[in-house]
Structure 1
Amino acid sequence: MDLDELRALTPSAAIDHIVSEHHEPLRRQLAELERACTALTSGGALTGAALSVVDLARLVGEELGQHMLKEERLAFRMIATTGGFREVPLAVMEREHRYIDELVRELGRKTDGFTPSPGAPHALARLFAVCRQIALALPAQFAQEEALYDRFRSASEWVA
């Protein structure tokens, strides 16, 4: 769905779209990310750069998970029902988008664009693949969420 189509939806329909098309698949990806991280660290053999990549991947997962919970339990709920969500909380959500985006970019830099070296362990290749999927999906997700926030800032245009 492009941003114009999203903007044409009611707040509740836009939220439903974001949750079903972005948050739910991302939760599955985050679970896969954690499984790959656990597989890589369970033997205790990782050190140095590989361990820092796993730690950063876990941080990305934690930040994304917490961010989605805040959106769904606070921001989206208030947008859909009360009309009481205003600039400061929306700015926090947008700031978190920028922070998470920077974490993902850093992860991409540390992994040479999520490219495992030849002969890398299967779990590392899985981790890089999931990170690549997340990195590719986040710009559209964040753009749609921020379009929702922008529309809500002029909430008089919406009919719930």
Structure 2
Amino acid sequence: MSINQQSVGEIARSITGATAVFHKYKLDFCCNGHLTLADACVKKNVGIDEVISDLQTLIDNQKQHLNRVEALQTDELIEHILARYHEVHRHQLPELIRLAERVEKVHKLHPDCPTGLTSLLIEMQQALLSHMMKEEQILFPMIRAHQLQAVHPIAMMRHEHTQHGESLEALEKLTHDITPPEGACNTWQALYIGLNAFKHDLMQHIHLENNELFMRIS
């Protein structure tokens, strides 16, 4: 299916950075996420060729990144995952929890207040820290040592990745697809910007392990 016939909601989920392109052209990927890109552009009187060009740039950049990643040796790939994702997640979540706690406290009477977000992020943090520790202390050393038994912890990591994905779905539902309400304060906007970055990083992290690193072993 050509990209102009895909729904804007699907494109927003599948192409990292697509939401920024949609914001640029004021295309609604939330409430009108079911519209095809072509229909969404007609609705907003936006030139579809410009939108597709920007989306194609994102796709090309992602392909270049993946090609560089695929060229890495397994030990180098593990180091990349540790530095780019494990350490980044450890810094992202405490700040997101702090911001969520403040938004829930200050805006608890607002109809769009993401009530329960702080608790969800704390649960995600605990699950992710445990998951990364198991990879760092058990799975990655086994992979480095070329141990065939690594297929067993890999199966468990894949299962936990699925659980992380379910948590992201819960997060999106709680935050209206991570879209702040009109007139949201700076803290609320900063929180959702951070949540979007975290979501994209975690999805890329899981993709890299499931479809690149683990495929080299299993």
Normalised TM-score (structure 2): 0.60
Residues in 2 aligned to 1:71 and 1:40: alpha-carbon distance in whole angstroms: 33
Q: Determine which of 51, 57, 60 is the counterpart of 2:121.
A: 57
More RCO (CA 8 Å, sep 6+): 1
Question: SS of 1:51's equivalent?
Answer: coil
Deviations 1:51-73 (A, max 9, x none): 32222222222222222222112
Residues in 1 aligned to 2:188 and 2:98: alpha-carbon distance in whole angstroms: 11
Mapped contact 1:30–1:61 kept (Cα < 8 A): yes
Question: SS of 2:114's equivalent?
Answer: helix
The structure with more helix, counted as a fraction of residues: 1
Deviations 1:22-79 (A, max 9, x none): 22222221121122234346x5984896332222222222222222222112111211
Higher alpha-carbon Rg: 2
Residues in 2 aligned to 1:129 and 1:85: alpha-carbon distance in whole angstroms: 40
Structure-to-structure mapping, 1:1-160, within 5 angstroms: 1-2=65-66, 4-40=67-103, 46=108, 50-81=114-145, 83-146=147-210, 147-153=212-218
Per the TM alignment, residue 82 of structure 1 is displaced from its structure 2 partner at its CA by: 5.0
Residues in 2 aligned to 1:6 and 1:45: alpha-carbon distance in whole angstroms: 42
Normalised TM-score (structure 1): 0.79
Distance 1:44 1:117, change over 3 A: closer
Distance 1:73 1:46, change over 3 A: farther
Q: How many residues align?
A: 151
Amino acid corresponding to residue 128 of structure 2 in structure 1: L
Per the TM alignment, residue 131 of structure 1 is displaced from its structure 2 partner at its CA by: 1.4
Residues in 2 aligned to 1:122 and 1:67: alpha-carbon distance in whole angstroms: 32
Residues in 1 aligned to 2:138 and 2:190: alpha-carbon distance in whole angstroms: 33
Residues in 2 aligned to 1:123 and 1:117: alpha-carbon distance in whole angstroms: 12
Residues in 1 aligned to 2:167 and 2:115: alpha-carbon distance in whole angstroms: 16
Mapped contact 2:114–2:174 kept (Cα < 8 A): no
Mapped contact 1:75–1:85 kept (Cα < 8 A): no
Mapped contact 1:40–1:124 kept (Cα < 8 A): yes
Per the TM alignment, residue 84 of structure 1 is displaced from its structure 2 partner at its CA by: 4.6
Percent identity of equivalent pairs: 26
Distance 1:136 1:58, change over 3 A: same
